[in-house]
Structure 1
Amino acid sequence: MRPALRLLPLPFCIAASLAAHADEELRPGYWALCPIEDAVPMFADAQAPVGSVEDRENQPTDIDGDAFAGISGESANVTGDVTLRRGDQFLGTDNLDYSQEDGTFVASGNVRYQDSGMRVVADRLEGDTIAESYRMDNVRYQLTARRGNGGADEIRMEGSQGALMGSTYSTCPPSDRWWELKAGQIDIDTDMGMGTARNATLRVGKVPVLYVPWFRFPVDDRRLSGLLYPRISSSGRNGFDYTQPVYLNLAPNYDMTLEPRWMSKRGVSLATEFRYLNSGGRGEFDLNYLPSDQLTRDDRELELIEVPIAENRRKDDRVLFTYTGRQRVNRNWQARANLTYMSDPRYLEDFSNNIDGISSISTRSTLGVFGRGLYWNAAIAADYYQLTDYTLNESRLAYHRLPYAQVSWEQPVGSLFVAGVDAEATRFSHLDSTAKPGGARVDVKPYLSMPLEGPSWFVRPTLAWRYTGYDLSKELADQVARTNNLAAANGSPSRSLPIASIDAGLFFDRNTRFRGEDYLHTLEPRVFFLHTPYRDQSDLPVFDTRDLTFSWGQLFRDNRYSGADRQADANQITMAMSTRLIRESDGLEKLSVNVGQILYLDDSRITLPNRAPIERGRSAWVTDANYAVNDRWTIGASYQWDPKTRQEDLASLRTRYLIGDEGIANFAYRRRGDQIEQADLSFLYPVSPSWSLIGRYYHSFTDNRMLEGIAGVQWDSCCLAARVVARRYLRSRQGEMNNAIMFELELKGLGAAGPDTESRLRRAILGYYRDDLYLVPPSELRGSDDDDDLAPGLTP
Structure 2
Amino acid sequence: MLVKNFGLFVLSVFLLGTGFPSTIIAEDLPDMKKRRPSVLPALNSSSPAKERTDPIFVSADQMIQLQNKNLVKATGHVLVRYGKRTIRSREIIVNTATGQGEAHGGVIMTAEDGTVLRAERAQFNLKTKKGRWFDVKGKIAGIYYVSGKEVRKISEGHFQTKDVSLTTCTGDLPDWTIETSEADLIIEDRALFKGGIFKIKNIPILYIPLGYFPMVTKRKSGFLIPRLGVSSLDGVTVGNRYFWAINPQWDATLGVEYIEKRGARGALEIRYATSKTTWGQFYGTILDDNLTGNTFWKIDATHHQNLPLGFKLNAKIDGTSEDSFNKTFANQTESRTRRSSDSYASFFKTWSNSTFDILARYQESEEATTDDSLGQLPTVTYKTQPIAIGGTSFIFNQETSYSHFLVDLDTDPVVDNFEGVQRADIHPQVSLPINLGNWMRFTPRAGVRGTYYSKGIRENMVTGTNTFHSGFSRELIDLNATLEGPKFNRVFLSGNPRTARFKHVIEPRIKYQYIPNMDRADRAKIILIDAIDDLNYTHQINYFLTQRLLKKGNDGTVVQIAQFEISQGYDIIETTRLANPMTPRRPLTNLRFDLDSRFTDYLMLNFDTEYNVYDGVLETVNFDVGVKPTDWMMLIVERRAVHRQSTSILGTVALGLPKGWNIKYSTRFDEFREEILEHNAQLTFNNSCVCWGFILDFIRRNNFDNDIRTTETKLLFSIQLRGLGDFDGTRGESFLHRTF
**Coarse TM-score class (shorter-chain normalised):** 0.7 to 0.9
Q: Return the match for 1:740 from 706, 713, 733.
A: 713
- For the residues of structure 2 that align with 1:606 and 1:481, how far apart are their CA atoms? 26
* Partner in structure 2 of residue 36 of structure 1: none
User: Does the alignment pair 1:682 with 2:652?
Assistant: yes
* Partner in structure 1 of residue 610 of structure 2: 640
Q: Return the match for 2:365 from 382, 387, 409.
A: 387
Aligned 1:742-781 pairs, distance under 5 A: 742-744=715-717, 746-749=719-722, 750-753=724-727, 755-756=729-730, 759-760=732-733, 762-767=734-739, 773=740
- For the residues of structure 2 that align with 1:486 and 1:349, how far apart are their CA atoms? 35
- For the residues of structure 2 that align with 1:134 and 1:123, how far apart are their CA atoms? 14
* Partner in structure 2 of residue 794 of structure 1: none
Give identity over the alignment, percent: 14
Q: Return the match for 2:286 from 289, 294, 306.
A: 289
Instruction: Tell me the alpha carbon deviations over residues 383-422 of structure 1, each in whole angstroms, 9 at most, x when there is no partner.
Output: 2232211112x3xx14311221123343755797765433
User: Does the alignment pair 1:576 with 2:545?
Assistant: yes
* Partner in structure 1 of residue 21 of structure 2: none
The AA in structure 2 aligned to 1:339 is I
* Partner in structure 1 of residue 673 of structure 2: 703
Deviation of 1:211 after TM superposition, in Å, equals 0.9
Q: Larger helix proportion, structure 1 or 2?
A: 1
Q: Return the match for 2:267 from 252, 266, 271.
A: 271
* Partner in structure 2 of residue 427 of structure 1: 404
More deviation in 686-695 or 662-671? 686-695
Relative distance call for 1:531 and 1:480 in structure 2 (3 A) is farther
The AA in structure 2 aligned to 1:536 is M
Instruction: Tell me the alpha carbon deviations over residues 158-212 of structure 1, each in whole angstroms, 9 at most, x when there is no partner.
Output: 555732323433233323422112334443567x956544444322332141414
Question: Alignment partner of 1:173: what SS?
Answer: coil
Instruction: Tell me the alpha carbon deviations over residues 642-692 of structure 1, each in whole angstroms, 9 at most, x when there is no partner.
Output: 334433232223322226433322212222232331112221245655655
Deviation of 1:62 after TM superposition, in Å, equals 12
- For the residues of structure 1 that align with 2:635 and 2:288, how far apart are their CA atoms? 43
The AA in structure 1 aligned to 2:231 is S
TM-score normalised by the chain length of structure 2:
0.74
User: Does the alignment pair 1:439 with 2:439?
Assistant: no
Q: Return the match for 2:639 from 669, 676, 679.
A: 669
TM-score normalised by the chain length of structure 1:
0.69
Question: Alignment partner of 2:631: what SS?
Answer: coil
Relative distance call for 1:292 and 1:94 in structure 2 (3 A) is closer
Relative distance call for 1:99 and 1:142 in structure 2 (3 A) is closer
Deviation of 1:527 after TM superposition, in Å, equals 1.7
CA RMSD of aligned residues (A): 5.0
Asked if the contact 2:296/2:324 (under 8 Å) is kept, the reply is no
- For the residues of structure 2 that align with 1:653 and 1:87, how far apart are their CA atoms? 66
The AA in structure 1 aligned to 2:729 is P
Relative distance call for 1:112 and 1:265 in structure 2 (3 A) is closer
* Partner in structure 1 of residue 110 of structure 2: 113
Q: Larger strand proportion, structure 1 or 2?
A: 2
* Partner in structure 1 of residue 159 of structure 2: 163
The AA in structure 1 aligned to 2:330 is S
Relative distance call for 1:356 and 1:87 in structure 2 (3 A) is farther
- For the residues of structure 1 that align with 2:665 and 2:109, how far apart are their CA atoms? 49
The AA in structure 2 aligned to 1:223 is K
Instruction: Tell me the alpha carbon deviations over residues 410-436 of structure 1, each in whole angstroms, 9 at most, x when there is no partner.
Output: 375579776543332101122447866
User: Does the alignment pair 1:320 with 2:298?
Assistant: yes
Q: Return the match for 1:651 from 600, 610, 621.
A: 621
Asked if the contact 1:659/1:685 (under 8 Å) is kept, the reply is no
Relative distance call for 1:143 and 1:568 in structure 2 (3 A) is farther
* Partner in structure 2 of residue 183 of structure 1: 180
Question: Alignment partner of 2:292: what SS?
Answer: helix
Q: Return the match for 1:407 from 382, 394, 404.
A: 382
Question: Alignment partner of 2:367: what SS?
Answer: coil
Question: Alignment partner of 1:350: what SS?
Answer: helix
The AA in structure 1 aligned to 2:165 is T
Relative distance call for 1:136 and 1:289 in structure 2 (3 A) is same
* Partner in structure 2 of residue 349 of structure 1: 327
Deviation of 1:624 after TM superposition, in Å, equals 2.7
- For the residues of structure 2 that align with 1:75 and 1:620, how far apart are their CA atoms? 97
Aligned 1:87-486 pairs, distance under 5 A: 101-104=97-100, 109-111=106-108, 113=110, 120-122=117-119, 127-142=124-139, 149-151=145-147, 153-160=149-156, 162-166=158-162, 167-188=164-185, 196-205=192-201, 206-215=203-212, 217=214, 219=216, 221=218, 223-226=220-223, 228-247=224-243, 254=250, 256-275=252-271, 278-279=274-275, 281-291=278-288, 293-296=290-293, 316-330=294-308, 332-392=310-370, 394=371, 397-410=372-385, 413=388, 419-432=396-409, 437-447=419-429, 459=441, 461=443, 463=445, 465-473=447-455, 476-479=456-459
* Partner in structure 2 of residue 728 of structure 1: 700
User: Does the alignment pair 1:508 with 2:489?
Assistant: yes
Asked if the contact 2:252/2:269 (under 8 Å) is kept, the reply is yes
- For the residues of structure 2 that align with 1:148 and 1:442, how far apart are their CA atoms? 66
Asked if the contact 2:425/2:449 (under 8 Å) is kept, the reply is yes
- For the residues of structure 1 that align with 2:725 and 2:189, how far apart are their CA atoms? 20
State the structure with bigger RCO (CA 8 A, min sep 6), 1 or 2: 1
* Partner in structure 1 of residue 30 of structure 2: none
* Partner in structure 1 of residue 564 of structure 2: 594
The AA in structure 1 aligned to 2:170 is P
Deviation of 1:464 after TM superposition, in Å, equals 5.5
Deviation of 1:79 after TM superposition, in Å, equals 7.8
Relative distance call for 1:327 and 1:480 in structure 2 (3 A) is farther
The AA in structure 2 aligned to 1:270 is G
- For the residues of structure 2 that align with 1:85 and 1:496, how far apart are their CA atoms? 89
More deviation in 419-428 or 101-110? 101-110
Question: Alignment partner of 1:243: what SS?
Answer: strand
* Partner in structure 2 of residue 18 of structure 1: none
Q: Return the match for 1:520 from 483, 502, 510.
A: 502
Asked if the contact 1:63/1:84 (under 8 Å) is kept, the reply is yes
More deviation in 421-430 or 574-583? 574-583
Deviation of 1:457 after TM superposition, in Å, equals 5.8
Asked if the contact 2:648/2:669 (under 8 Å) is kept, the reply is yes
- For the residues of structure 2 that align with 1:363 and 1:678, how far apart are their CA atoms? 24
* Partner in structure 2 of residue 566 of structure 1: 535
- For the residues of structure 1 that align with 2:437 and 2:715, how far apart are their CA atoms? 57
Instruction: Tell me the alpha carbon deviations over residues 238-287 of structure 1, each in whole angstroms, 9 at most, x when there is no partner.
Output: 22333333445666655554433333333333333345553464454444
* Partner in structure 2 of residue 302 of structure 1: none
- For the residues of structure 2 that align with 1:488 and 1:344, how far apart are their CA atoms? 30
Q: Mark the structure with the bigger radius of gyration.
A: 2
- For the residues of structure 2 that align with 1:362 and 1:355, how far apart are their CA atoms? 14
Asked if the contact 1:182/1:201 (under 8 Å) is kept, the reply is yes
Asked if the contact 2:549/2:561 (under 8 Å) is kept, the reply is yes
- For the residues of structure 2 that align with 1:624 and 1:3, how far apart are their CA atoms? 82
- For the residues of structure 2 that align with 1:639 and 1:174, how far apart are their CA atoms? 57
Relative distance call for 1:102 and 1:357 in structure 2 (3 A) is closer
Asked if the contact 1:441/1:471 (under 8 Å) is kept, the reply is yes
Deviation of 1:742 after TM superposition, in Å, equals 0.9
Aligned 1:705-720 pairs, distance under 5 A: 705-711=675-681, 713=683, 717-718=687-688, 719=691
Question: Alignment partner of 1:348: what SS?
Answer: helix
